Amino acid sequence: MLAGILVSSVILGALAMAAMALVRRLGQSNSTLPVTAEWIEELSVDRYRPMARLLDSADIVFLRSQGGFTRQMEARVRAQRCRIFRGYLNCLDNDFKRVCLALKLILAHSSLDRPDLAAALVHQQVMFASGLLGAHFRIFLYRWGICSVDVSGLVSIFDSMQLELRSLVPAAMPVCA
């Protein structure tokens, strides 16, 4: 009985911390991020394609089959790949924030009321923030060989938002923050 209450308390505490992190992330405003027409033209999900393979377990399985590969070497490889992956994830997060900032600026300066776009923007921000939290948690678990990490959902959200931005930019040129 006491163990059940303790486990429930720990889970509830972890969920509360995750909810606070999500709310804090959504409340952040990085209005100093540069958003230019040139930057929008350079946006591409192609720069995030290496993420799909970076934490692939096939590489670790191959390395294990090689003579002389030790658990310490595996731990170093996993740690290095996690660092690189987090770098990609931070770039994806920054690009997503810039796209959202540009969309907010377009909404704020538009002569047309776009509640559909505003609602979609908020929804996508919530989905991205929760996906980002999940990805960081899974990276932590991957580091210890427990699970894999798939960020295709985050890349898809980013792609849809940058496509929305591209569709609006020609009518709203120039965009600056």
pLDDT tens sequence across 97-118: 999 998 998 888 888 888 888 8
pTM of model > 0.75: no
Place of tokens 């990609």: 88
Kindly tell me if the per-residue pLDDT of 157 is higher than 70. yes
Answer whether the bond into residue 174 is a cis peptide, omega within 30°: yes
Q: Which tokens in the block code for residue 112?
A: 């047309």
Kindly tell me if the per-residue pLDDT of 4 is higher than 80. no
Kindly tell me if the per-residue pLDDT of 76 is higher than 70. yes
Confidence (pLDDT) at 151? 92
CB distance 143 to 173 below 8 Å: no
Confidence (pLDDT) at 31? 47
How buried is 25 (Cβ within 10 angstroms: 0-12 exposed, 13-18 middle, 19+ buried)? middle
Kindly tell me if the per-residue pLDDT of 177 is higher than 50. no
Kindly tell me if the per-residue pLDDT of 95 is higher than 70. yes
Report residue 37: phi and psi, to 5°.
Answer: -60, -35
CB distance 43 to 163 below 8 Å: no
Tell me 33's DSSP state: S
Confidence (pLDDT) at 175? 46
Q: Which tokens in the block code for residue 170?
A: 């020609």
Confidence (pLDDT) at 57? 83
